[in-house]
Amino acid sequence: MSLKQKTLDLLKRREEALKGGGEQAIEKQIAMGKMTARDRILALLDKDSFHEYDLFVEHDTKDFDMDKKKFSGDGSIIGTGTVYGAPICIFAQDFTVAGGSLGFMHARKIVKIMDHALKMRVPLIGINDSGGARIQEGVNSLAGYGEIFWRNTLVSGVIPQISVILGPCAGGAVYSPALTDFVFVVDKISKMFITGPEVIKTVLGEEISMEDLGGARVHCEITGNAHFFSESEQECFDKIKKLISFIPWNNTQKARAFPPKPPKKEYKIDSIVPNDSKLPYDVRDVIRAIADDSDFFEVQELWAANAVIGFGRINGDTIGFVANQPIVMAGVLDVDSSDKIARFVRYCDAFNIPIITLVDIPGYLPGIDQEHAGVIRHGAKILYAFSEATVPQVTVILRKAYGGGYIAMNSIHLRADFVFAWPGAEIAVMGPEGAANIIFRKEIMEAEDPEKMRKLKVKEYKDKFANPYVAAAKGYIDSVIEPSETRKMIIHCIEVAKNKSANRPARKHGIPPF
Amino acid sequence: MEEKEKYKILVIDDVKYQTRLTKKFEKRKSYIPVDLNKLISFISGTVSKLSVSKGSKINKGEELLILEAMKMKNRILSPKTGKIKSINVEIGQRIAKNDVILEFEK
């Protein structure tokens, strides 16, 4: 064969391999409202940037007549490309090829691109769409999963890992996404669970649909396993791209800086927070009043909404925002919001993203269910995460900061670099009503008119303690600032903290209250 | 201007906050104190054997029934010495988690 003939032969082989599971399977995939694996990659990456590897990989299983079956690329697609110019390693499971089932070679391709991503220190994106383990390959298939999980853990905190669930992802398979930084799901397409509806029905006799058990909404609203909810695959890809624009390529770099932009004029920082600390407001408006172009990219918007986390930019640099949300559950901390904040803080710390914490917290949510769900252990995660973080951190107390919540929301005691309070801040061990009822119990009880006395004592406590100056007098607040000074102060502090060096004692690793 | 939202009240340390409540919070179950006279199923499954009947006297640690769940025949032993007041299940019956299987006399 001449080189020309050989080249023609290559093109033919390539064309054959690119057919994936064949026309019928592709039609079926599209009928399910899903894109094909290759189309997904192309939709996500910059135009013409995708380069595929291991296209000709085949399985070598012989049992169960498998030697007669040929799976194009063994059902997974790997390659490299760019997103907004950022280099990316990517894999996608091809559901049209043997249901995207994970066999040994299928997994070895994924593992190969993961190793590449670590070596090149670039982000890894995994698109999951698989029926699960390839049963015919037995323990080899389990070995494949194990190798993936091990690498997910190995690269965690070194390179960003993004999981996209665009089909079923069941059994052991879900643990790979669970080990990664961010999980994207799409309504009616994504399904994640450890044991499916059928097993649950046979073993436990309980009936539930796939959607209600582990659909996109369930994981975004109830479990917190997923971070971003989208209505369509395209919307999902747009969100992934936006996320990539906020994060660095690896843990030794900083996120790309953008040209600074002032916040939009419609967010007036002076008039968002009501003076009466019992009244709600949307803390995201405060974030938008501070962030460049008022652009706030929220993470886990639908889960544990009493805490708000997400990315924005200040003066062009990526910032991780953490805030209590007074409009939901009065902004209390509880089991879920503690988990949410703690993990995000660790993410920002791992990837050199400064953290701005906006505080308006009445305390922890009281309740038997909370106590029995282990709010002690979960709440401790926030203390651990903030105490451990060494990236630049600025805390702004907008209004209330009561009790344990004051400490937990990155107080100076947990080593926030700068702590500011607005003039309306109330930094105290608890709300005036509760405090007065305890401190002046006797006076109130013995008074001729207890209700009048209670009101008097509440006012007395309020006047004396419900302000930022008691804490400022001790130096627990670096400065009491006007709301309109907030952005300027943050810009200054981040600038000052650019070369921050905070050392921790050498250790293998800490023991966080996981 | 947008319509004024009607907020719910959440009390923390005697302070009444106006706010939205989460579905999870609104649907939370109220706590039921443990009643040691009731034998509660810890898992859903099928009753494959009953070793006692109404009125039986039983010692702590003796077999009450066998509950098949997760492909295992779980021997359910008596947590206390006493007399069986009532049995709420039959052989072959599939029960759910937290069902009251039987009750002891007080």
User: In sequence order, what are the residues at sequence separation of 6 or more whose Cβ sits closer than 8 angstroms to the Cβ of residue B16?
Assistant: A278, B9, B10
Indicate the residue of B22, B69, B97 with minimum beta-carbon distance to A329.
Answer: B22
Structure tokens of A19? 């057919």
3-state helix, strand and coil shares in percent for chain B, rounded to the nearest 5: 5, 45, 50
Give the distance, in angstroms, between the CA of residue B49 and the centroid of all CA atoms in the same chain: 20
Q: Are residues A220 and A211 in contact, defined by beta-carbon separation less than 8 angstroms?
A: no
**Three-class secondary structure assignment of A437-469:** HHHCHHHHHHCCCHHHHHHHHHHHHHHHHCCCH
In a domain, B57, yes or no: yes
* Cα–Cα distance measured from residue A200 to residue A182, given in angstroms and rounded to the nearest whole number: 28
Q: Which residues of B touch A336 (CB under 8 A)?
A: 24
* CATH code: domain of residue A350: 3.90.226.10
| Alpha-helix residue ranges (DSSP H) falling in A229-329 | 233-246, 283-290
Q: Which residues of B touch A434 (CB under 8 A)?
A: 12-15
* Cα–Cα distance measured from residue A85 to residue A461, given in angstroms and rounded to the nearest whole number: 57
Distance from CA of B84 to the nearest CA of A (A): 27
In a domain, B59, yes or no: yes
In a domain, A449, yes or no: no
A160 and A303 in a common domain: no
* Cα–Cα distance measured from residue A456 to residue A267, given in angstroms and rounded to the nearest whole number: 37
Last residue of a domain, one of A188, A212, A246: A246
Q: Which residues of B touch A221 (CB under 8 A)?
A: 23
In a domain, B19, yes or no: no
The structure tokens 């029960």 sit at B95
User: In sequence order, what are the residues at sequence separation of 6 or more whose Cβ sits closer than 8 angstroms to the Cβ of residue B9?
Assistant: B16, B17, B18, B19
Per-chain mean pLDDT for chain A: 95
Residue B3 is predicted with a pLDDT of 66
Domain, as residue range, for A50? 15-246
* Cα–Cα distance measured from residue A215 to residue A6, given in angstroms and rounded to the nearest whole number: 48
Q: What distances in angstroms separate CA A42 from CA A39, A106, B59, one per listed residue? A: 5, 20, 69
Mutant choice from B7, B19, B29, B31 vs A, greatest count of A C-beta within 10 A: B19
In a domain, B30, yes or no: no
Residue A172 is predicted with a pLDDT of 78
A218 and A141 in a common domain: yes
Q: Which residues of B touch A366 (CB under 8 A)?
A: 12
pLDDT digits (tens, 9 = 90+) for A424-480: 999 999 988 999 999 999 999 999 999 999 999 999 999 998 999 999 999 999 999
A304 and A197 in a common domain: no
In a domain, B2, yes or no: no
* B98 exposure class (CB count in 10 Å sphere: 0-12, 13-18, 19+): exposed
User: In sequence order, what are the residues at sequence separation of 6 or more whose Cβ sits closer than 8 angstroms to the Cβ of residue A422?
Assistant: A273, A396, A397, A398, A399, A468, A480, A481, A482, A483, A486
Indicate the residue of A329, A366, A402 with minimum beta-carbon distance to B21.
Answer: A329
| Alpha-helix residue ranges (DSSP H) falling in A291-425 | 335-350, 368-372, 375-388, 403-408
> Which residue has better confidence, A172 or A471?
A471
Overall number of domains in chain A: 2
* A149 exposure class (CB count in 10 Å sphere: 0-12, 13-18, 19+): middle
Distance from CA of A284 to the nearest CA of B (A): 15
pLDDT digits (tens, 9 = 90+) for A176-226: 999 999 999 999 999 999 988 988 887 777 899 999 999 999 999 999 999
Domain, as residue range, for B85? 38-104
Q: How many CB pairs under 8 A join A and B?
A: 83
Mean pLDDT of A125-143: 93
A230 and A196 in a common domain: yes
* Cα–Cα distance measured from residue A240 to residue A43, given in angstroms and rounded to the nearest whole number: 11
* Cα–Cα distance measured from residue A219 to residue A191, given in angstroms and rounded to the nearest whole number: 9
pLDDT digits (tens, 9 = 90+) for A55-91: 999 988 888 888 888 888 899 999 999 999 999 999 9
A184 and A86 in a common domain: yes
Phi and psi at B51, nearest 5°, equal -95, -5
> Do A369 and B31 lie within an 8 Å CB cutoff?
yes
Q: Which residues of A touch B15 (CB under 8 A)?
A: 277-278, 362, 431-434
Nearest CA in chain B to A368: B31
A278 and A233 in a common domain: no
> Do B22 and A203 lie within an 8 Å CB cutoff?
no
DSSP SS3 for B106: coil
Q: Are residues A180 and A153 in contact, defined by beta-carbon separation less than 8 angstroms?
A: no
pLDDT digits (tens, 9 = 90+) for A268-303: 999 999 999 999 999 999 999 999 999 999 999 999
> Do A431 and B19 lie within an 8 Å CB cutoff?
no
Which residues of B have a CB under 8 Å from any CB of A? 7, 10, 12-25, 28-29, 31, 43-45, 69-71, 94, 96-97
Last residue of a domain, one of A184, A214, A246: A246
Structure tokens of A399? 């209004």
> Do B44 and A402 lie within an 8 Å CB cutoff?
no
Residue B2 is predicted with a pLDDT of 58
Distance from CA of B51 to the nearest CA of A (A): 23
Q: Whole-model pTM?
A: 0.93
CB atoms within 10 A of CB A152: 21
* CATH code: domain of residue B89: 2.40.50.100
A96 and A206 in a common domain: yes
Per-residue pLDDT at A159 exceeds 90? yes
Q: Which amino acid is at A513?
A: P
**pLDDT in single tens digits along all 106 residues of chain B:** 556 788 999 999 889 999 999 998 999 888 888 888 999 998 888 999 999 999 999 999 999 999 998 888 999 999 999 999 999 999 999 888 889 999 999 8
> Do B13 and A306 lie within an 8 Å CB cutoff?
no
> Do A434 and B70 lie within an 8 Å CB cutoff?
no
The proportion of chain A whose per-residue pLDDT surpasses 90, expressed as a percent, equals 88
Q: Classify the phi-psi angles of A355: left when phi > 0, otherwise alpha if psi is within -120 to 50, otherwise beta.
A: beta
A310 and A224 in a common domain: no
pLDDT digits (tens, 9 = 90+) for A366-385: 999 999 999 999 999 999 99
Q: Which of A391, A421, A400, A420 is nearest to A500 (CA)?
A: A391
> Do B14 and A402 lie within an 8 Å CB cutoff?
no
Q: Which residues of A touch B96 (CB under 8 A)?
A: 205-206
In a domain, A513, yes or no: no
A419 and A290 in a common domain: yes
> Do B20 and A280 lie within an 8 Å CB cutoff?
yes
* Cα–Cα distance measured from residue A479 to residue A225, given in angstroms and rounded to the nearest whole number: 38
* Cα–Cα distance measured from residue B73 to residue A187, given in angstroms and rounded to the nearest whole number: 40
In a domain, B15, yes or no: no
Nearest CA in chain B to A281: B19
Question: Is the complex ipTM higher than 0.85?
Answer: no
In a domain, B18, yes or no: no
Structure tokens of A13? 């082989």
Rg (alpha carbons) of chain B, rounded to whole number: 22
A150 and A19 in a common domain: yes
pLDDT digits (tens, 9 = 90+) for A214-239: 999 999 999 999 999 999 999 999 99
In a domain, A134, yes or no: yes
The structure tokens 């209505």 sit at A231
Distance from CA of B97 to the nearest CA of A (A): 9
Sign of CA dihedral A246, A249, A255, A256: negative
Residue B96 is predicted with a pLDDT of 86
A119 and A38 in a common domain: yes
> Do A432 and B15 lie within an 8 Å CB cutoff?
yes
Q: Which residues of B touch A278 (CB under 8 A)?
A: 15-18
Which residues of A have a CB under 8 Å from any CB of B? 203-206, 221-222, 277-280, 305-306, 326-332, 336, 362-363, 365-369, 372, 402-403, 430-435, 437
In a domain, A506, yes or no: no
Overall number of domains in chain B: 1
Indicate the residue of A205, A279, A306 with minimum beta-carbon distance to B94.
Answer: A205
In a domain, A242, yes or no: yes
In a domain, B62, yes or no: yes
Indicate the residue of A332, A435, A437 with minimum beta-carbon distance to B12.
Answer: A332
A220 and A358 in a common domain: no
Nearest CA in chain B to A327: B19
In a domain, A105, yes or no: yes
Residue A395 is predicted with a pLDDT of 98
Indicate the residue of A204, A206, A328 with minimum beta-carbon distance to B22.
Answer: A328
